[in-house]
Amino acid sequence: MTKLSVNINKIATLRNSRGGDVPNVVKFAEDVQRFGAEGVTIHPRPDERHIRYQDARDLVNVVHTEYNIEGNPIPKFIDLVLETKPTQVTLVPDSIDAITSNAGWDTIKHKDFLVEVISEFKRNKIRTSIFVDPNLKQIEGAKETGTDRIELYTEAFAHQYALGNEDAIKPYADCAKLSNQLGLGVNAGHDLSLDNIKFFKENIEGLLEVSIGHALISESLYLGIENVIQMYLHRLS
């Protein structure tokens, strides 16, 4: 069983573009869960360009499925996670100016740091996951950090699959297999979509959770636009 966690960053992006509260992030989180989503993911960035730290607090009593907070564990982020106590924290090594996440952790080079941060979260009973590239050495390194899970960074797979290269799944399948052998739970995310999710799921052993935002929100616009145009035309007739 693979859980679908909906990343709602894009809803906050849209809201922030007008400075008001439309669309409402909390209402959206309530709705996606009502429609069947099994988790809600947010990725507050230091510049708060989409999800704000206050959103993370406002969502605490709203997310009754799995609450996943992603981000680079800078002190401000660590404090937010310890305050909000989500189901899971996913650590992502974002550079401050990254448009979006673009790499996994070097779990070998940053082992000591990861061990320290992960143990603090686990002491507070927050499940941990770390964002990694599909590389066996990085999975072995992840095991050494004490993390509960890894999140496979799927951008390369999504890109190659769209070009027709199904072999791009191989390093992900190998890493998932090794993770399962080592007792690490397997999550995945980044650029997963309606086009590639079935193939990905079918080839990844023990896939526990996917977090999907950019494509899912874009697809919702495409698939909903016809209905909304008709509703406007009806009111104007």
Ligand X SMILES: NCC(=O)COP(=O)(O)O
Contact residues toward ligand DXP (CB under 6 A) are: 7, 9, 43, 45, 70, 92, 100-101, 131, 189-190, 213
One of 43, 66, 151, 209 is an active-site residue; which one? 43
| Annotated catalytic residue 190 | yes
Q: Is 19 left (phi over 0), alpha (psi -120 to 50) or beta?
A: left
Nearest to residue 189, comparing CAs of 131, 146, 135, 136? 131
* Closer Cβ to ligand X, 30 or 155, answer by number: 155
Cβ closest to ligand X, residue 185 vs residue 189? 189
Of 66, 151, 190, 209, which residue is the catalytic one? Answer: 190
Cis amide bond preceding 23, omega within 30:
yes
Is 64 annotated as a binding-site member? no
Window 188 to 227, contacts with ligand X (CB under 6 A): 189-192, 211-215
Q: Rounded distance, CA 94 to CA 124, Å?
A: 23
Nearest residue to ligand X, using CB?
189
Active site residue 151: no
Query: Taking the complex as a whole, how short is the minimal distance between the CB of residue 94 and ligand DXP, in angstroms?
Result: 7
- Whether 57 has a binding-site annotation, put simply, is no
* Whole-number Cα distances in Å, 233 to 4, 187, 224: 34, 43, 15
Judged by CB under 6 A, the stretch of 13-21, 55-63, 76-84, 183-191 that binds ligand X is: 183-191
Do the annotations mark residue 164 as ligand-binding? Answer: no
30 included as an active-site residue: no
Q: Is 110 annotated as a binding residue?
A: no
Shortest reach from residue 177's CB to ligand X, in Å: 21
Other CB atoms within a 10 A radius of the CB of residue 57 amount to 12
Question: With CB under 6 A, what is the number of residues at the site for ligand X?
Answer: 13
Residue 78 half-sphere exposure toward CB, CA atoms < 13 A:
14
**Residue positions annotated with a catalytic role:** 43, 70, 190
Residue positions in the annotated binding site?
A: 7, 18, 45, 50, 100, 191, 213-214
Binding stretches for ligand X (CB under 6 A): 7, 41, 70, 151, 189-192, 211-215
